[in-house]
Chains A and B, each alone.
Chain A
Amino acid sequence: MEEYNSGDELYLCVFQCIEGVIGGTDYNQSKVNQWTASIVEQSLAHLVKQGRPLKYMVNCTIMQKSGAGLHTANSCYWDTTTDGCCTVRWENRTMYCVVSVFVVALAL
């Protein structure tokens, strides 16, 4: 991706958003709706604040740990010199959280 240091900067930003929302909590069916919404909104707000000419898509999935298998994949049709993505996988004792951020440059 363009000079954007997506690797670490973006990963840390999203990781901190996840920790801030669900760090230290157990899976709770009545709250998980609020958690996913908060994680995507806070991540997006942090990214937009940077004021770069970019479009963002943030996707968050939270799954209860019960032995079930979960698999995710993504595929992108874009300009590989200017666009990119980053996926953060987080877990605690009771749940998995996977957040994907896609960054697309504005064609000027």
Chain B
Amino acid sequence: MSSPASTPGGRKRGRNTNPPTPSSEDPTSPPSQRRRGQDSSTGDLMPMPTSPATDILSPAAPQDTSLLSSPRPSGMTCLMPPNEVDMSSPLMYGTPSSRIEGTPRSGVRGTPARQRPDLGSVRKAPQVDLHSDADGAVASESNAGQRLVIWGTDVNVGTCKEKFQRFLQRFVDPTSTEDENAGLDLNEPLYMQKLEEVQFLLRNINVSPLVPQISSFDAELYRQLTCYPQEVIPTFDMAVNELFFERFPDSFLEYQIQVRPYNAVKTKSMRSLNPEDIDQLITISGMVIRTSQLIPEMQEAFFQCQVCAYSTRVEVDRGRIAEPAVCRHCNTTHSLALIHNRSVFSDKQMIKIQESPEDMPAGQTPHTTIVYAHNDLVDKVQPGDRVNITGIYRAVPMRVNPRQSNVKSVYKTHIDAIHFRKTDEKRLHGLDEEAEQKLFTEDRVQTLKELAAKPDVYERLSSALAPSIYEHEDIKKGILLQLFGGTRKDFSQTGRGNFRAEVNILLCGDPGTSKSQLLQYVYNLVPRGQYTSGKGSSAVGLTAYVMKDPETRQLVLQTGALVLSDNGICCIDEFDKMSDNTRSVLHEVMEQQTLSIAKAGIICQLNARTAVLAAANPVESQWNPKKTTIENIQLPHTLLSRFDLIFLMLDPQDEAYDRRLAHHLVSLYYQTEEQMEEEFLDMAVLKDYIAYARTYINPRLSEEASQALIEAYVDMRKIGSGRGMVSAYPRQLESLIRLAEAHAKVRFSEKVETIDVEEAKRLHREALKQSATDPRTGFVDISILTTGMSATARKRKEEVTQALKKLIQAKGKTPAMKYQQLLDDLRGQSETAITKELFDEALRALADEDYLTVTGKTVRLLA
């Protein structure tokens, strides 16, 4: 193994010929270009074949203070810290937290600075001419004569710090919607309040500015932050700590405050990372697929002489420790031994993230990226989490072989994480997390708004839905409204919990009427959709199951389709073929929108705010128009009443329809792709439109709309009351409200107006007309869906029973009768047709009254 190639000093400044870059350097030139040439000289990209080039991860702390304090002559290694004595205390060894570096800092008063391995070797990079920097905090921009910058960048520490302090002191964000800012006065400087919070809690909550906020406050500062995060963030740290201790001089913090800016606008997709992004601040979103165990990384080795107990510390230099051969104190050779307990380690973890499926182009496999998390960020994320990571993109050359001088010409890339933001964490708070995920460009928003302004947007969108499926306009409209969903309301204060905002739809009808196709289409359209088939899915597959992880042998909860489609749509095909057991799970999901699990010692309630789109086939494989919906699909009415809309997809069997259908199908087979596209809206536009509306539009009922809804409901109740039936239930009213809200969302309207209610009413009536029409009377009867039997059917049963009783009584005292004989007699007597089923039911009713018993083919009177 070769020794480090050069002295630290020499390495620091690879090319001394290059003077500190003056501010005249064009700040607009692509920084990555500039930096790449100097990568190695700044140390972070030191591609030495002989060393693994890990110095980027070596400690930053001891020296990052040198930014402000006068530079230490010894440079890299700090052999004798001033308060070495403290270190010998047995309580003070081990973790980095116990380090009392005690570097004098203005106003910081010995609060230990924590290392920031995430920022890499800051200590090497900035070689500012510090003469001008003694009073950096007051140096103003006008002080141009003294503007000296960090080598290789155009960052002036003083100016930068001042700007950031100004940002902290003045930034007000009255429009903030961040839930973590709850309780803060939005009209006061946001970050000053946060600092007060720090003071109050005496603990270190990270002060994490949103990068866009900085951008809106000071564009120049923002540019520097994204281009030179490694230099700028420590400057921010300094700024915030100075500010803090200035304001609260008596407070004591365990560590200094660390600034973790997040949500850089630089990059959104992993796929678009390219060499230009190296060493820049980036934000990418992805899913964590693997985390390594905690890796203790030695930052500083502690050696003690076995002879005279003289101790010395050696810093890790590019992944290596140069063991001192001679004790400086007693001059014994090879007497120094490494004391592990007193060496300094920092936590590190490797995390692998993978592109989120939404970001991927079709037909390609997802990319993965390695992320290193340090210190605080270790163990913050778990596999399966969706995260937004803000960090610095790094590239390190790969070493082939220490004995070979040629290098594999490939760099290893990774991201040093500065900030994690779990995107699904917010789902627990019940907020729509897509706000963070899906950012729309100005143009896109503009086109979407233009589209929304068109009067026929509703029709346009509904016809754009599954264009290959012919007609069924109302069903498509219903599904469209389902895609948009209602407004989420929270009534937990008044004890009713959350109101369901999702619209549930059931499609039933003849086989081969492209129900499955519609489901497939919806499943492909929504980002968080799940598709299951009733036949193949068990209750477990839908909800959640507990399994033993083969690696860790721990019990883990695996979520099923319903939980996975939280905030999405769960498409269930062959709903009728589902076992009763499975279906019962749906009861809770479809109204309470939660899922309770109690198995294998795990008791929990999961959110399942999913809309259900189900398809069911009639029991007799062909729809029997003489029967009610319940009879046709044989589903429990308790479940059916949870569907907002139930549509029948039937073969209409009329000539004009056939002709249009034939034309549609044939054209499907010969039209070219382009022709089809002209006719219909692009699927991508539709997707964005829905995502936008779901995120930004939260319609509320207007006064007129409320009135209209009330009237509609009262009307619905009235229909039935005339005939002694209940024709509407509060559930129907809720459905109407949801549908009206969804329709308002389609129009991008923040207010539910009368037209929305009108459409909701119409659609609801259409669906009812199809599914809740009593085949005997032709009237719409909601009790078919709510109780499983129409009111007329009940009345009819009653009549037949009475008639039968009379018939038997008229026959006189005959203790036993032939079944067939009795049926024939009844038929002969009655003017309406009596089916065998009806007769059986009547017999059963009489048997219940203990009037008679039926044994085989004979009917016996009991009385």
A binds B: no
Q: Which residues from chain B sit less than 8 Å from chain A, CB to CB?
A: none
